[in-house]
Chain A
Amino acid sequence: MDCKIFGLRKEEYETIKKQLGREPNEAELRILGVMWSEHCSYKSTRRLLRQFSSEGKQVLQGPGENAGIVDIGEGLAVAFKVESHNHPSAVSPYQGAATGVGGIIRDILAMGAWPVACMDGLFFGDPSKEKTAGLMQGVISGIGGYGNAVGVPTVGGKTVFDGCYDGNPLVNAFCAGLVRHDGIVRSNTAKPGQITVLLGSRTGRDGIAGAAFASARLEEDTKGSRPQVQIGDPFVEKLLIECCHELLSKGLIVSMQDMGAAGITSSASEIAAKSGRGVLIHAEKVPLREKGMNAWEIALSESQERMLLVIEPRYFDTVAECAGKWQLECAAIGEVTDDGRFRIMEKGKTLVDLPAEIVGGGCPEIHWPSIPLSESLTKDLTDTVEPEYPDEWGNHVLDLLSSPNLKERAWIYEQYDHMVQINTVVPPGGPVSVLRVKGSERLLAFTMESDPWSCGLDPFAGGAETFMKAARPLYVCGAQVLGMTDCLNYPSPEDPGNFWALEESVKGLATAASEMDCPVVSGNVSLYNESPAAKILPSPLVGLVGLLSRREEYLSCGSWNEGDKLFLVGPIKGSLASSLSKRLLCGLSSGRPFVFDAAKERSFRQKALETAHRSLASSGRVLAGGGLTVALAKECVLSKIGAKVDPECFMEAFEVFFSEGGPRALYAVPSGKEKEFRELWDSFGCAFIGSVSGERLRIDGFLDLDIDDLSVAWKG
């Protein structure tokens, strides 16, 4: 049998035969082909993912469930996860992005949580290309069209532009939900005698083998791939959220699973394997949208807005009544057994009979060869291309502010309802998004970051910097980092250079996260992000959840006052290597990105948190894209006041003002707090650079700009 048509490698096919002790039949092969795809099995990366530590006293649920969960105190917890929907969005931008949002919301719902916030990581190609513009519009309206209707605010995100995403846009959807500790639902609690119930939409042929599709390279002609894309219905999703929570509040649900990739198969086999039980599905009991579907199509359909519930049989009528109230389909489609098998029967005939644990967990790992890109790397790191530094920085700063990667994102986030549920305290657009927790003094803070250019140059340092870029703004605003989720977006692992970059950047991420005591509680991997035209840079994306215990602990940015003193804390210089400034001036990254220093980062964390909690500053901003100058410019625009900066104390001024990376931040300190502030930061590195005054941003000898011009460049 040609196992390749089912997406299985020869050795995988042999493993199946050995484990079954017989030839698998066609339905079984199709099911295993999907379940053992890269997307479902993580076969290329499982080894790497073990580097992530999920240790932490706040961790209530680590990786392996639909989402990770961290404790936020007062009996409450946050469930969160980010997941890629890259391939579907490339093929069908609106529906791909919309169903990405729908899927991640159901993952959070499956933990018993109420979804309270979404964010999105978007990576687009060259924005001046018409194709990018169309794609972008589709993705953004898809996210809005779904999230807005479902009533979950989209409170933040990250948008990246680079030519490497021209044929390979990335859409990573994040969702967080609130859940009481005693309301957490897990998938390891099913017992024989309980039944499985399908709740939500009817099952159709849409998205069959979508998971396998997500594991392949994109072909030039994506039109042919259309039928694999699912259609989302946010209206039904909203009803599903309401219905599931009504059932949860009545204690009627033992366990539940979102039906995402690989549909009934993955959700049912996961419950069986995690609970150490078996599951029997009766295909003919599944409510269908179209006639003539065969058992494996039913088992693998990725029709959206469906949940699989495990309940006690005596509650079925009550569950069905609640489903009726919310106009949802509800059918008992199978039962939990004690035989450890995943079985599908149709009208009494057994069609699929596999050990439950091999369906989701049986695929052998693949260890791809890894070869350091040493040649190109050393070249890039040593032969640094020196850009021609402009004498007068004014235009360069305006260029930076108006460049696609820095430009204000209001045109995106204003298309998303970011306020529904009335918790949004700090709206999208800034370095952190902050939500209140009703009935509590606590605040949740969220960030999302990615730095593909650093990762492309030096994957280890880039991976670490990606984590730090997400973490530092949380420290500066006063939030403790509780946990991380990540989406690992890479090209094909089969290329040894690609695989090396994957290994190294994951190591960098894992190292930084564990050095900074941040457990990694959930995540997702997306490989094969390449098209005939290009392959993507290594693009790991990090989502962090932080906590402030009181509102007074929060330090805002963009809140300068006349007379405040400006301080640059941390190393005087970062690195220009992968900086936006350098990319803009000479069109490429080269050189060495900032090297991760755990002790320095921890010291920064402690001082930044103290600065916020002791209210030592009126405003604080981490230096990110565009470095110190852009930080100054943004603070001017947001505070509607100017600054006079005197850089004469600095050598290599261009590097000081435009380099990126490292634990560096800009603080505005009221004169009464100056002494305390200096005492706190002096040992770390704390340079007085100027004062807040006037209506212009002036850096003596280098630039002198009206804040209105800065505002127009950034926001216009």
Chain B
Amino acid sequence: MRAAVVVFPGSNCDRDVIHALRTTVSADTETLWYESSDLPKNIDLIVLPGGFSYGDYLRCGAMAARTPVMKAVRRFAEKGGLVLGICNGFQVLTESRLLPGAILANQSLTFICRSCTVRVERTDTPFTLGCRENQVLEMPIAHHEGLYFLPDEEISRLKKEKRVVFRYCGPDGELDDSHNPNGSLDNIAGIVNERGNVMGLMPHPERASEKILGSDDGALIWNSLHIWLEKGGR
């Protein structure tokens, strides 16, 4: 796998993602500076990492979404390239309209950093094909803005089209408010675009990719991508 991890001013999980990609699936990984409008050749995956791009000023992800690299990311995605936005990266994807919706401040109005459990809602995406249906994964969240929002009519469309890939849940996969850490609509933790090649998720798989860190469930996502690419992207 050849992957590029975008670095915006204020990104702070770029190195973590690179470490996880290298240690779990030995991906050939490089960084991609936000000002570049060209992508490296033969890239399979672009990751928009977590952090506080542009200090989270104005709106989280708003300014990063309007940088030159995002034009290139859009073209890449339109051609079917794999794009994964994690945390702030998810915010960048909604701000750049590569994914629907908006991400608002947590209901608690506080930053929340802790381990969470999420349920895999779809296993036919490149990001989750190595998971079992309804498998519960343990991955941490760390955000102040993680409440996924869409107006009523659009959220029902999103659900109908089965675009929700991860939902916050209890340890046994139960979906209820007590296991919704940030007030996200419908416990949504991660979604894909219509074509299924662009995913945004709030939890950090790179923080749960090695046993020593408490969980290696996040490695399933890197492994899924690896398998997908090995099979020639099907």
Contact = CB atoms under 8 A, between A and B. Distances in A.
Given a CB threshold of 8 Å, the question of whether A touches B is answered with yes
B107 interface: no
Given A144-B110, A233-B55, A417-B111, 5 more contacts: A148-B142, A234-B55, A238-B52, A419-B213, A420-B142
A190 to B, nearest CB: 30
Interface string B50-71: 1110111100000000000000
B12 interface: yes
Contacts of B140: 419
Given A327-B9, A551-B212, A421 B110 contact: no
Q: Which 8 A-B pairs have the closest CB atoms?
A: A151-B12, A235-B55, A149-B52, A422-B16, A417-B142, A417-B113, A415-B111, A414-B114
A420 B87 CA distance: 12
B48 to A, nearest CB: 16
Contacts, number: 85
A712 interface: no
A136 B112 CA distance: 17
Contact of A418 (B113, B204, B210): B113
A336 B111 CA distance: 45
Interface in A391-427: 410, 413-422, 424-425, 427
Contacts of B112: 414-415
A331 interface: no
A235 B10 contact: yes
A234 B51 CA distance: 12
Q: Quick one: which of B51, B55, B204 has the most chain A CB within 10 A?
A: B55
B179 to A, nearest CB: 15
B2 interface: no
A608 B224 CA distance: 44
A233 B55 CA distance: 8
Contacts of A418: 113
Interface of A: 141, 144-145, 148-151, 233-236, 238-239, 326-327, 410, 413-422, 424-425, 427, 436, 438, 551
A564 to B, nearest CB: 23
B74 interface: no
Contacts of B50: 420
A151 B113 contact: no
B212 A436 contact: yes
B20 interface: yes
B207 A422 contact: yes
B49 to A, nearest CB: 11
Nearest to B209: A422
21 contacts: A141-B110, A141-B111, A148-B142, A149-B52, A149-B56, A151-B51, A234-B52, A235-B9, A238-B52, A239-B9, A410-B114, A413-B113, A415-B111, A415-B112, A419-B113, A419-B204, A420-B12, A420-B142, A422-B19, A427-B214, A551-B212
A219 to B, nearest CB: 32
Nearest to B14: A151
B188 to A, nearest CB: 21
B52 A421 contact: no
Contacts of A422: 16, 19-20, 206-207, 209-210, 213
B16 to A, nearest CB: 5
A235 B110 contact: no
A421 B113 contact: no
B205 to A, nearest CB: 11
